[in-house]
Amino acid sequence: MAQKKRSSRWRVWHRWLSLVFGVQMVIWAVSGAYMVFFDLDYIHGDHLVQDISQPLPEHTDIASLDELFATYPETHSVSLETRWLDNTLQTVYKLETSKGSLLVNAESLQPIELNEQHIKALANRYYAQEQTNIESVVYMTDNPPTEISAKLLPVWQINYDDFGNTSLYLSETTGDLLVKRHTFWRGFDIVWMLHIMDYEERVDIETWWLKSFIIGTFILMVTGIVLLVYTISFKRKPAGGSQ
């Protein structure tokens, strides 16, 4: 009788622990399956975009670096690149200055200001799908969506009307593709948040929520093992034997 009473107590503890930690265990299982079954490159959206870099045209007439640094003395790093602008492949200097990134014409050293048409054309070149149906273009300076970091602002968001509701984010100053998002990435972001239990930044894998639920789940397992031992013990006792 004493053993049966102890078993009943363990059963109550096991039931309450299951109610508290069982839901999170299901979330761990489902979110873990999502992250395992979907290819990470697909989640990153690598299939949605393509490399649009082009070699420098031969015999390109460009200003010298001395002229460049004389014109833009605040420059601390520079790269010579190409950009498709107004349907023309142009040679440009991309500058990193104390005030941020800057794109200038490599021949005239005039700054290049990208407008919405430039951004849409560049986005369509990055976009690797056959249909390029742009649904909307948004210039963001504040209140970014949770799918991008505020550090990227200001930024252009180009939304496509496609299967995955693709969004490309391009730099306002250089036209560089910064990040790409789509439905399955957004789903991954949610299950990742639920999996690591960081409901704000979604980057901390050592939250107290996570640690507490791991400990609670371990206790739940212990109560289950004890109940299993009691169950086996009861079954082995002969009928009519003392309890």
What is the per-residue pLDDT across 13-52, written as a single tens digit (0 to 9) for each? 888 899 889 899 999 999 999 999 999 999 999 999 999 9
Reply yes or no on whether the pLDDT at 239 is more than 60: no
Which DSSP string do the residues of 103-118 spell out, in sequence order? EEETTT--B----HHH
Q: In what order do the strands lie in the sheet with 100-105?
A: 75-85, 88-97, 100-105
Percent share of the chain, pLDDT over 90: 70
| pLDDT band for position 159 (cuts 50, 70, 90) | very high
Cα 76 from chain centroid (whole Å): 30
Q: Average the pLDDT over 158-185 and give the result.
A: 95
Contacts for 185-193: CB closer than 8 Å, 24+ residues apart:
185/43, 185/44, 185/45, 185/147, 186/147, 187/34, 188/34, 188/35, 188/38, 188/43, 189/146, 189/147, 191/30, 191/31, 191/34, 191/35, 192/31, 192/35
Q: Considering the chain, what is the average pLDDT of its residues?
A: 90
Q: pTM here?
A: 0.81
Say what the pLDDT of residue 243 is: 42
Q: Average the pLDDT over 149-170 and give the result.
A: 95
Distance (Å, whole) CA 175 – CA 187: 27
Reply yes or no on whether the pLDDT at 77 is more than 50: yes
Q: Which of 183, 174, 177, 137 is nearest to 157 (CA)?
A: 137
Q: In what order do the strands lie in the sheet with 155-160?
A: 134-140, 155-160, 167-171, 177-181
Strand-pair partners of 177: 170
| pLDDT band for position 2 (cuts 50, 70, 90) | low
